[in-house]
Every structure is written in structure tokens, then in C-alpha cells.
Amino acid sequence: MSEREPMNLSPQKQEQSWSAELQATPRATPRQYGVLIVDDEGCVRSVLNLGMRQRGFAVWLASDGQEALDMYRCYRETIDVVLLDVQMPGADGPRTLAALQELNPRVRCCFMTGNLGDYTERWLLDLGAETVIPKPFRLADVTEILFETASKARLSPSGR
């Protein structure tokens, strides 16, 4: 299995893996980037929150699409990238991305998912997502993806 391939782990084993990664010495980003993390699972939000903060990101959390829109409206000037779960109750990830794009057509988004449901990865990318990150994931991989995506947002004019 390559380093970037998703691991087939039970939720308990995934939490143990994340815990070990959080205890490892994190690599902080050279400048602070902002990330809005949107996931209906509290465990995923908590781990990503802690992991991204340890690595130097400013973090905002939302448990659903509406909360994500509210956060983005308030903090869009400091949010460089949105990490968005595909399957959520209410407004799912693709609907949430469409609403975010109405606020900012250049919003940078990465989807994460353990279940694509009726969607395909190609379709999600065609919506404007930078990438689709499979769950379970390694925090180090997510950090690198978010760092690269946030860097692009800062480099492009009106990237936010």
C-alpha cells in the first residue's frame, strides 16, 4: 500500500491512528492559512480541528451546510480553503459548495468522503472542487493537501 492510499480501518482503529498522528511532532505551516471544516461527525471535526491548529492553520468548524454558509459569510476574508464532507444531512456537500460559490465563485474547496453516494469523484471535481479526499485519511495527507490548496488561494488574485 502506498503512503497516499486510504487505509481500510474501523472507526476505532482510525481514531487510534489519528491519536498517534496528533502526538507526533507536527509541521507548522510557514504562514497561517484559514480552513473551514464542514462535517456532521463531531469526531472528525475534533480531530481535524486539533490537527490543523497544531500545524498552524486558523480553523473554523461547521456541522452542516447552513452553519458553513453562516461561517463563510462572516469569515470569508480569512478562509483560504473549505474542507467539505460530501454526505451530510440537510444540504450535502455539493449543495453547500454551490451555495458557497454564489457567495464567492472562486472559493477553494476540497471534498472528503467515506461514501460518494450518488456522486462520482469526477462529478465533484467538475463542480469546482480541488480534490476528493477518501475517508479514512491520514492527517499528514490532509494537511499537505490543504496547505497546497490554501497556497493557491493566496497566490491567485481575488482567490477568496
Question: Per CATH, which fold does 31-153 belong to?
Answer: Rossmann fold (3.40.50)
Domain residue limits, the chain: 31-153
CB 85 within 8 A of CB 38: yes
Q: How far apart are CA 134 and CA 14, in angstroms?
A: 13
- Local confidence pLDDT in tens for the 160 residues of the chain: 333 344 455 555 555 555 555 455 455 444 589 999 999 999 999 999 999 999 999 999 999 999 999 999 999 999 999 999 999 999 999 999 999 999 999 999 999 999 999 999 999 999 999 999 999 999 999 999 999 999 887 666 544 4
The alpha carbon torsion through 53, 86, 129, 4 (nearest 10 deg) reads 60
The C-alpha R_g of the chain, in whole angstroms, comes to 15
The model carries a pTM of 0.80
Compute the distance between CA of residue 41 and CA of residue 18 in angstroms, rounded to an integer: 15
pLDDT of residue 116: 93
Alpha-carbon span 100 to 93, nearest angstrom: 10
